A and B are shown apart, each in its own frame.
Chain A
């Protein structure tokens, strides 16, 4: 019998209205917000916001708070209960006997807000399975449910798994054959070491970090102006990963690379990746938007806390007050964006950068001289036909228009055949000049960074106020910089103003990158886990709060967080630990699949390995690598990919100058990340939108992906080169399968393959599920 029916029978005939109002959404397994109203128990259990009902205490019951509008959105959505119904409801709840309703969610906060203590490794029955402590935690969970882990994956599957995971391209046939034949019991560990030392590791894992910080090489909005040397941050991230820079140092450099012990102004680019409306009407608003973006991004990226939710009011779920938000924001109040002259490091190839900049500048100058000559000739030509001064002025002005197409629209005169050729050459020369200028800008020793405002320009750090409703015109209480007040043992910092460097951000980074911070290590360890398993132990990697996912293995997470700190915040140590675990080495099928899937459909207990689809970049890089054409050049200015001519013509504020074909075959991480022009293939395969922090890529399966991989230029072009690569092989079909799948064909596959040209076979193999999904 439903709760409402009980009330109806016991209380008042008005209450069926309530049942009608709430019952359509809050029922069954699909109940909105996880709150089912099917029974009193269900109401006590509550949904994601906690228990809906506190027996005996109507004022504390969320149900009442929502229907009265005390909490928003007011329920029922789009409607309102009348006062009489509400008072009946209150009475019914108050009449219930008071009980001890314990919220699971408060326990979650108790766990989250305290730094992990020492975590004992659990004792398990099947000791022989355990390779390292990770396995003990996982197995303990399985054994509690009477479940057993899957068998170990084949050597072939394991090697492909670690290649895609660590460097983002598949092993070559030789590497695969050698590994399968290797009798060294440590062959797998050695393969991991080799890949961790491979510079392609930084390219693969750097991309994960770039997703998080919404890395882009343009401003977004209308003009979407390029950030010509933003790539230096990208290369910094790749280098930091390859050097295994301790994560606490990595964090500190990005938050306070100008103030801390480890100096790095390029790392400050972290602050700059918010979209930026260069021609905004209100500079004050623009600055506030920038500060909001930083406050929210720092919270979600480093702390896994959705601080941004407290911009307009107290956080609705987590203990982050409206005031906390602005205290956090005050750490950044003294900053201003700045493009700083910062010399190239040795790793950035300073000589080459200087040489190329000079070359492009010289070419631009030469082009400009030629352009001036052509312009003068056009002017004379115009005057020979027409003596009109005003017309000449207009004509010369129109020469600055976007391209010949628009010039012809504005000045029909130039459609005459005699104008065509000189004008075509003029625009070609002008494009050449712009291209060289653009390339020169990309080689400048400029860091896309921030600086502290300093006397005399700004004698004081601007005050920070709590903004009611986030509205810049609704200034409330003045606040000083301070840490999240919910974290035990942290007091608001008061940092004395110290000249050019005000030390505020350093204080913040000291707090974040500290082994005492309850969030930082857990959040990062979970991110590493997520990239290896496809899902984190907390599946909402940037939201560890009440509204986020409940961790499947909190003790394991804590143990690993401690280990991360103890091992000097080394990512590579954590990779090795995770990848050598028996948990990671499991096959993607379990003998008890059917039973286990019914019990634990999301595999949260880790009774097998998860499948993962290749990321857009990995897919593209792998195809290029298999065709033998991936250009391994690392670092430097972005590579501009081709776009269709009609698309390029539609860009109003910039020109599109594709890089050479050879450059376009470099790894995807080096492709231009322009917010308004995403690589179409990457966009189709779920690459991030470059405007918001992306903690977890979605995996969609849509028909345009099939069209892209069947008919798109990447597959078709590379399949031709794949064919050429196979030309000399003794058994080309066999070689083709080894290159793409790391195994030979079955008899049936061979039969099917021999009906195809080798280039068609390439296309088929690039489209196979076995290629796109890593077991």
Chain B
């Protein structure tokens, strides 16, 4: 079946470039992307480096390294920093996870970990753009927009692509991170907030007879469309109002968290102010996917994981806010039989360095585009698998090196789309999420 017949909106322009839905059989119907803004340290989560224990505090010699992407960083002497966190093997797969993520660790057999993802720019804004759109410059469609463009939505009453930023600090460039770029606006992400009005302008004003308004609007628009039956946009626009009315009923129902059982709320950490914000959005993500939403992106606050000043303090805080809700999300999806068809992705815009400026009292870690550890779960990924090796200090991926484009290609692949074939003609050529193409991370599927 062509899933695009259920596009969230309709327009002649958009319908004209609709082709077949999937390119091949999809392993995942939906994707939940957990964006760890600021960049999680691989060395302190999934990529233990015992060698750093020996090197801790020693001055690093960077003279042989190419320094182009972060010249300021390497201008001064730097010293190695051992991870302040202990690692332990978990699950049947025996993957090592640090004590930072005790809850995720319990789900390690569901994870397909890649420890060798590289990206192109060590500056947050450009790197966040690349994570979301494939490119380090603004103006390109986000991955959720591409997926929606490729597949349409799986439901009639909700947006296909939902973005849930943390309003304490929204991602750089705001809506462009979930925007449709040069794709039609119907593919842009709809922002959902954890408030009484989750979607902007969803609620009707309370002191107005909206039923009477609706009747009059239907009547007048109906008469007009009858006179001009040759122009399909008139009908399409009337249909969009019917969808809007259904959304007004459906969205609050889908997102009503109060009705969730106490143990679910507890599992997602809704009862603890530390985990409540991320937990609430993880739970909403599950409910949205359950209702047929295609792509959900949940963001931590902008630059939250950016541990320049103090790796321990920063990462402990962020791990506490996210670890428990994420594990609960995985367990909940699994328990409901949804994990098989739901791809969950956990990553930041880059990894972090094994060292810190030599004169810094509390050791931190800086930006590192040469490797990061990220994981997939569900959606046809091989649970308990792992690929990618970094050098002995965790500075650079050296084996089975992958790129951000490859992560995108893998997401699209699992969702039944071929990244080379998912194109949109703009500015003189066919554009892609992965530019000239990415590679499937085949070891993990």
Q: Do A and B bind?
A: yes
- On whether A649 and B167 interact (CB within 8 A), knowing A77-B420, A281-B69, A755-B216, the answer reads yes
Interface residues of B in 220-265 (CB under 8 A from A): 220-221, 223-225, 228, 230-231, 233-234, 236-238, 240-241, 243-244, 247-248
* Listed A/B pairs (30) with beta-carbon separation below 8 Å: A30-B19, A78-B418, A222-B124, A224-B173, A280-B126, A281-B122, A611-B233, A613-B233, A650-B165, A675-B138, A675-B176, A678-B175, A683-B188, A686-B185, A689-B138, A689-B139, A698-B13, A700-B14, A700-B184, A700-B186, A701-B233, A703-B243, A710-B204, A710-B210, A710-B244, A753-B216, A756-B213, A761-B216, A767-B241, A772-B237
Chain A residues with CB below 8 A from B248, complex form: 707
Q: Does A542 contact B (CB under 8 A)?
A: yes
- On whether A700 and B11 interact (CB within 8 A), knowing A282-B71, A756-B213, the answer reads yes
- On whether A704 and B199 interact (CB within 8 A), knowing A78-B418, A676-B172, the answer reads yes
Closest CB in chain A relative to B222 CB, distance in Å: 10
Q: Does A397 contact B (CB under 8 A)?
A: no
Q: Does B8 contact A (CB under 8 A)?
A: yes
Q: Does A634 contact B (CB under 8 A)?
A: no
Q: Does B10 contact A (CB under 8 A)?
A: yes
Closest CB in chain A relative to B320 CB, distance in Å: 14
Q: Does A664 contact B (CB under 8 A)?
A: no
Q: Does A552 contact B (CB under 8 A)?
A: no
Residue of A nearest to B158 (CB): A703
Pair A652/B126 contact, Cβ less than 8 Å? no
- On whether A279 and B230 interact (CB within 8 A), knowing A678-B175, A702-B8, A767-B217, the answer reads no
- The 0/1 profile, CB within 8 Å of A marked 1, for residues 178-198 of chain B is 010110111010100101000
Chain A residues with CB below 8 A from B9, complex form: 700-703
- A-B pair count, CB < 8 Å, reads 254
**A-B interface, 7 closest residue pairs, ranked by CB to CB distance from nearest:** A306-B428, A702-B9, A222-B125, A691-B139, A706-B244, A650-B170, A692-B139
* Other-chain contact of B240, A316, A685, A706 (Cβ < 8 Å): A706
Residue of A nearest to B172 (CB): A222
A611 to B12, CA, bound (A): 12
A639 to B200, CA, bound (A): 22
Chain A residues with CB below 8 A from B193, complex form: 646
Closest CB in chain B relative to A705 CB, distance in Å: 7
Pair B224/A768 contact, Cβ less than 8 Å? yes
Pair B124/A764 contact, Cβ less than 8 Å? no
Q: Does B201 contact A (CB under 8 A)?
A: yes
A336 to B96, CA, bound (A): 52
* Other-chain contact of A281, B70, B139, B168, B176 (Cβ < 8 Å): B70
Q: Does A114 contact B (CB under 8 A)?
A: no
Closest CB in chain B relative to A499 CB, distance in Å: 33
Total count of chain B residues near the partner, CB < 8 A: 89
A279 to B195, CA, bound (A): 34
- The 0/1 profile, CB within 8 Å of B marked 1, for residues 257-285 of chain A is 00000000000000000010101111000
Chain A residues with CB below 8 A from B138, complex form: 220-221, 275, 675, 689, 691
A545 to B427, CA, bound (A): 11
A685 to B425, CA, bound (A): 21
Pair B231/A611 contact, Cβ less than 8 Å? yes
Chain B residues with CB below 8 A from A282, complex form: 68-69, 71
Chain B residues with CB below 8 A from A646, complex form: 167, 193, 195
Chain A residues with CB below 8 A from B215, complex form: 752, 755
Chain A residues with CB below 8 A from B241, complex form: 703, 706, 710, 767
Chain B residues with CB below 8 A from A32, complex form: 421
Interface residues of A in 670-695 (CB under 8 A from B): 675-678, 680, 683-686, 689, 691-693
Interface residues of B in 29-57 (CB under 8 A from A): none
Pair A701/B10 contact, Cβ less than 8 Å? yes
Q: Does A663 contact B (CB under 8 A)?
A: no
Chain A residues with CB below 8 A from B186, complex form: 700-702
A752 to B221, CA, bound (A): 12
Pair A768/B10 contact, Cβ less than 8 Å? no
A25 to B11, CA, bound (A): 24
Q: Does A716 contact B (CB under 8 A)?
A: yes
Q: Does A128 contact B (CB under 8 A)?
A: no
Closest CB in chain A relative to B409 CB, distance in Å: 10
* Other-chain contact of A649, B168, B201, B303 (Cβ < 8 Å): B168
Chain A residues with CB below 8 A from B168, complex form: 405, 649-650
Q: Does B209 contact A (CB under 8 A)?
A: yes
Pair B8/A703 contact, Cβ less than 8 Å? yes
Chain B residues with CB below 8 A from A710, complex form: 201, 204, 210, 213, 241, 244
A593 to B230, CA, bound (A): 8
Q: Does A530 contact B (CB under 8 A)?
A: no
Interface residues of B in 62-88 (CB under 8 A from A): 68-72
Q: Does A124 contact B (CB under 8 A)?
A: no
- On whether A281 and B200 interact (CB within 8 A), knowing A651-B170, A769-B234, the answer reads no
Q: Does B91 contact A (CB under 8 A)?
A: no
Closest CB in chain A relative to B238 CB, distance in Å: 7
- On whether A683 and B185 interact (CB within 8 A), knowing A710-B204, A748-B223, the answer reads yes
Q: Does B93 contact A (CB under 8 A)?
A: no
Q: Does A597 contact B (CB under 8 A)?
A: yes
Chain A residues with CB below 8 A from B166, complex form: 650
* Other-chain contact of A647, B167, B220, B234, B418 (Cβ < 8 Å): B167
Q: Does B203 contact A (CB under 8 A)?
A: yes
Residue of B nearest to A707 (CB): B201
Interface residues of B in 17-32 (CB under 8 A from A): 19
Interface residues of A in 163-217 (CB under 8 A from B): none
Q: Does B336 contact A (CB under 8 A)?
A: no
Closest CB in chain A relative to B415 CB, distance in Å: 15
A306 to B184, CA, bound (A): 21
Pair A773/B234 contact, Cβ less than 8 Å? yes
* Other-chain contact of A752, B122, B219, B236 (Cβ < 8 Å): B219
Residue of B nearest to A296 (CB): B427
A289 to B122, CA, bound (A): 16
Extra contacts besides A224-B172, A701-B9 (19): CB < 8 Å = A25-B421, A281-B70, A300-B428, A309-B428, A593-B230, A649-B167, A675-B176, A684-B185, A689-B138, A689-B179, A699-B12, A701-B233, A703-B159, A703-B244, A704-B201, A710-B244, A752-B216, A756-B216, A763-B213
Chain B CB within 10 Å — which of A542, A597, A705 has the most?
A705
Q: Does B398 contact A (CB under 8 A)?
A: no
A597 to B228, CA, bound (A): 14
Pair A589/B228 contact, Cβ less than 8 Å? yes
A702 to B247, CA, bound (A): 12
Interface residues of B in 319-356 (CB under 8 A from A): none
Q: Does B271 contact A (CB under 8 A)?
A: no
- On whether A677 and B174 interact (CB within 8 A), knowing A711-B202, A756-B216, A768-B220, the answer reads yes
Pair A701/B247 contact, Cβ less than 8 Å? no
Chain B CB within 10 Å — which of A296, A703, A706 has the most?
A703
A748 to B203, CA, bound (A): 29
Q: Does A141 contact B (CB under 8 A)?
A: no
* Other-chain contact of A700, B13, B123, B182 (Cβ < 8 Å): B13
A710 to B166, CA, bound (A): 27
Chain A residues with CB below 8 A from B224, complex form: 768-770
A749 to B240, CA, bound (A): 22
A275 to B123, CA, bound (A): 15
Q: Does A456 contact B (CB under 8 A)?
A: no
Closest CB in chain A relative to B240 CB, distance in Å: 5
Pair A760/B220 contact, Cβ less than 8 Å? no
Chain A residues with CB below 8 A from B237, complex form: 701, 706, 769, 772
Interface residues of A in 454-494 (CB under 8 A from B): none
Q: Does B437 contact A (CB under 8 A)?
A: yes
A317 to B220, CA, bound (A): 49
Q: Does B1 contact A (CB under 8 A)?
A: no
Pair B123/A222 contact, Cβ less than 8 Å? yes
A630 to B325, CA, bound (A): 48
Pair A689/B228 contact, Cβ less than 8 Å? no
Pair B244/A692 contact, Cβ less than 8 Å? no
Pair A707/B70 contact, Cβ less than 8 Å? no
Pair A547/B428 contact, Cβ less than 8 Å? yes
Q: Does B274 contact A (CB under 8 A)?
A: no
- On whether A692 and B233 interact (CB within 8 A), knowing A543-B427, A764-B217, the answer reads no
